[in-house]
């Protein structure tokens, strides 16, 4: 039994639902989603140039249950599975990604030959063979780009995609089932600014003693996943849109936007869509990345001018203790910052977290180096209580600082003589030795002492199952581990451990050696 098509009224309603979910669609986007005609012809008419087909892969495969149901054939029956992009001639830019399945039993030999050997749109092949057919639309939806499709379409990973699924019907039977997907940022009729910012691991604060006349200092690195994707466009009022996962962050985005709009003296509104984010207070720095991504998007939208990341951080009150989040937004990689002057005449005169250090400039970056991208990074994020924040975090700084100067000296020695050479020379064992050692020094020791027992057990499990090193990111609860091989064993160990202690999420990723990316569409 084949799938049931949806009526034109339901298509219209689904498109309205999409707009509530991800933002206003342009007329061209709505036409591409709802048309019962050739998308290739529509694109050529709209763009005024020829649209070319580029075949990415094509093979005969047995039909799975879903494909078989869509085509009204038996599961396992051979189908031609074809993946193509529609590209703008001249520039070669990929406009649309399409996956089609065609049962071989319904093809005459000449049609089959043309389908399987030529980079020709399916609609044109049907015209060449004088096949009368109609298109029946089955569904329209939004989804997120994974790393592979984002590379093909030239967009950010986790950016929204618009997708439609339909069938070409001839002689009363489905001939081809097709899924077409294009970026939400394509075919717009207004300026949009999209910013993607990486998460960061914060490995530790260096000097929370202050006898040297400086305080703070941080070590950390940017990671590819998770990330934040923010989009801004002009609007009649300030509105922030986020899905269920991003809803807890929406108020923060709105507050930052209000501050930046007031600073610019902009008399109009802005629509901001938080397309992808990750939770706050889990040790991965979402607050700084959200603030900076929102600021950059608004600045690019209304007043395209150079404003350094340090200046943006100052506008939003970030970087007053650790400069790692600001530094990785700017350039990614592995970073060490130099903290702040300390004392009665210094930038700081007491021990405070970034959230309570408004007006203190971001710390200077002393060292930035690409982090080896062949080293695997595992993030284990337990469903435990949030890391310390707000008044609790401020009280911890006040109660436990200054830390012993001996701890600071041992920490500095491990960083200078093990961690830095390990990164530069790509010596994972040397680097890992330093990471494991610094968990017991200075303020990091304090952060560990405030964790539930499951965090210590998780770190021990990761070190014993393939990870060269493991540690606590910021105040937790996120635990990170680094290795080159055997990380699948570490992943399973983390999943098993968290399943026994309340659940959680594991991400296997790599370092990101570039900062936040910005794309402007119109």
Q: What is the pLDDT of residue 247?
A: 85
- Pair 481, 490: CB distance under 8 Å: yes
Q: CA 122, 128, 130: angle at the middle one, nearest 5?
A: 100
Question: Nearest 10 degrees: CA dihedral of 107, 113, 115, 120?
Answer: -140
- Pair 161, 22: CB distance under 8 Å: no
Does 108 have pLDDT greater than 90? no
Q: What is the pLDDT of residue 3?
A: 53
Q: How confident is the model at residue 156 (pLDDT cuts 50, 70, 90)?
A: very high
pLDDT in tens, 116-126: 776 777 777 77
The DSSP result for 335-391, as a single string, is: EEE--EEBSTTSSBSS---GGG-TTPPPPPEEEEEPPPTTSEEEEEEESSPPPP-HH
Name the least confident of 117-121, 267-271, 320-324, 382-386: 117-121
Cα 344 from Cα 360, distance rounded (Å): 14
Q: Token match 């054939």: residue?
A: 73
Q: Token match 């004088």: residue?
A: 130
At 70 the three-state DSSP class reads: helix
Instruction: Report the percent of the chain where pLDDT is more than 70.
Output: 96
Cα 190 from Cα 185, distance rounded (Å): 10
The helix/strand count (H/E) of the chain reads as 18, 18
- Pair 286, 279: CB distance under 8 Å: yes
Which one is the CATH code of 194-517: 3.40.50.300, 3.40.228.10, 1.10.10.10, 3.30.230.120?
3.30.230.120
Q: CA 176, 177, 179: angle at the middle one, nearest 5?
A: 135
Query: What is the chain's length?
Result: 522
pLDDT in tens, 439-497: 999 999 999 999 999 999 999 999 999 899 999 999 989 999 999 987 999 999 999 99
Q: Which residue has the higher pLDDT, 407 or 264?
A: 407
Mean pLDDT along residues 225-241? 94
Cα 398 from Cα 408, distance rounded (Å): 17
Packing angle, helices 428-438 and 405-414, rounded to 10: 170
Q: What pTM, to 2 d.p., does this model score?
A: 0.87
* Lateral strand order in the sheet of 469-472: 469-472, 479-483, 376-382, 504-509
List the beta strands (DSSP E) in 425-515: 469-472, 479-483, 504-509
Adjacent-strand bridge partners of 380: 479, 506
Burial level of 91, CB count in 10 A (0-12/13-18/19+)?
exposed
Q: Token match 């399916």: residue?
A: 122
- Pair 353, 393: CB distance under 8 Å: yes
| 24 DSSP assignment | P
What is the token pair recorded at 157? Answer: 């990973």
Residue 457 Cα to chain centre, angstroms: 29
Q: What is the pLDDT of residue 331?
A: 97
List the beta strands (DSSP E) in 19-159: 51-62, 78-88, 94-103, 134-144
Q: What is the pLDDT of residue 341?
A: 94
Cα distances (angstroms) measured from residue 92 to each of 85, 88, 95, 143, 257: 10, 5, 9, 24, 36
Q: Where in the chain is the domain with CATH 3.30.230.120?
A: 194-517
CB-based contacts of 17, cutoff 8 Å, min separation 6: none
pLDDT in tens, 183-208: 999 999 889 999 999 999 999 999 99
Q: Where in the chain is the domain with CATH 3.40.1410.10?
A: 8-183
The DSSP result for 185-202, as a single string, is: TSS-SS-EEEEEEEEEEE
Report the mean per-residue pLDDT for the chain: 91
CA-nearest of 183, 69, 60, 44 to 123 is: 44
Q: Token match 């219209």: residue?
A: 12
Q: What is the pLDDT of residue 21?
A: 84
pLDDT in tens, 348-379: 888 887 666 777 888 999 999 999 999 999 99
Q: What is the pLDDT of residue 356?
A: 65
Mean pLDDT along residues 252-264? 93
Q: Which residue has the higher pLDDT, 187 or 307?
A: 187
Does 2 have pLDDT greater than 60? no
Number of other residues whose CB lies within 10 A of the CB of residue 400: 17
Q: Which residue has the higher pLDDT, 109 or 96?
A: 96
Q: What is the pLDDT of residue 1?
A: 44
Cα 215 from Cα 346, distance rounded (Å): 10
Q: What is the pLDDT of residue 386?
A: 67
Name the least confident of 58-67, 73-82, 259-268, 473-482: 259-268
* CATH homologous superfamily of 8-183: Chorismate lyase-like (3.40.1410.10)
CA-nearest of 498, 226, 516, 480 to 376 is: 480
């Amino acid at each position: 039994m084949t799938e049931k098509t949806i009526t034109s009224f339901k298509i219209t309603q689904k498109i309205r639902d999409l707009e509530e979910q991800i933002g206003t669609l342009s007329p061209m986007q709505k036409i591409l989603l709802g048309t019962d005609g050739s998308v290739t012809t529509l694109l050529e008419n709209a763009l005024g140039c020829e649209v070319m087909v580029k075949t990415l892969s094509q093979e005969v495969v047995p039909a799975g249950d879903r494909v078989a149901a869509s085509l009204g054939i038996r599961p396992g029956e051979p189908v031609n599975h074809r993946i193509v992009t529609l590209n703008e001639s001249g520039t070669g830019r990929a406009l649309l990604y399409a996956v089609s399945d065609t049962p071989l039993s319904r093809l005459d030999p000449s049609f089959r030959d043309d389908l399987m050997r030529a980079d020709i749109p399916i609609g044109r092949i049907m015209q060449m063979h004088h096949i009368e057919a109609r298109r029946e639309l089955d569904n329209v939806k939004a989804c997120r780009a994974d790393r592979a499709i984002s590379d093909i379409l030239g967009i950010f990973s986790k950016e929204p995609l618009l997708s439609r699924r339909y069938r070409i019907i001839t002689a009363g039977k489905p001939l081809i089932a097709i899924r077409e997907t294009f970026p939400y940022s394509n075919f717009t009729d207004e300026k949009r600014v999209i910013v993607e910012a990486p998460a960061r691991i914060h490995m530790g604060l260096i000097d929370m003693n202050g006898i040297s006349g400086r305080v703070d200092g941080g070590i950390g690195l940017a990671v590819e996943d998770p990330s934040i994707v923010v989009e801004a466009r002009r609007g009649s009022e300030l509105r922030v849109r986020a899905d269920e996962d991003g809803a807890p962050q929406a108020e923060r985005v709105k507050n930052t936007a209000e501050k930046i709009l007031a600073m610019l003296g902009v008399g109009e509104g802005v629509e901001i869509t938080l397309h992808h984010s990750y939770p706050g207070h889990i040790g991965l720095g979402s607050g700084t990345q959200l603030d900076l991504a929102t600021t950059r998007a608004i600045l690019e939208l209304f007043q395209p001018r150079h404003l350094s990341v340090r200046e943006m951080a100052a506008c939003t009150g970030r970087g007053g203790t650790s400069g790692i989040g600001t530094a990785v937004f700017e350039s990614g990689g592995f970073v060490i910052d130099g903290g702040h002057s300390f004392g009665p005449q210094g930038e700081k005169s007491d021990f405070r977290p970034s959230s309570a250090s408004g007006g203190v400039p971001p710390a200077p970056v002393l060292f930035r180096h690409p982090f080896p991208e062949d080293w695997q990074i595992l993030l284990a994020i337990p469903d435990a209580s949030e890391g310390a924040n707000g008044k609790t975090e401020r009280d911890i700084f006040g109660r436990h600082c200054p830390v012993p100067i001996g701890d600071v000296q041992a920490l500095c020695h491990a960083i200078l003589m093990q961690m830095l050479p390990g990164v530069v020379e790509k010596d994972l064992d040397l680097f890992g030795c330093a990471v494991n050692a610094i968990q017991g020094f200075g303020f990091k020791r304090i952060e560990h002492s405030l964790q539930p027992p499951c965090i210590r057990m998780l770190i021990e499990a990761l070190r014993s199952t393939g990870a060269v090193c493991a540690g606590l990111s910021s105040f937790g609860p996120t635990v990170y581990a680094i290795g080159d091989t055997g990380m699948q064993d570490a992943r399973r160990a983390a999943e098993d451990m968290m399943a026994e202690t309340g659940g959680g999420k594991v991400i296997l990723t790599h370092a990101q050696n570039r900062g936040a990316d910005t794309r402007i569409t119109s």
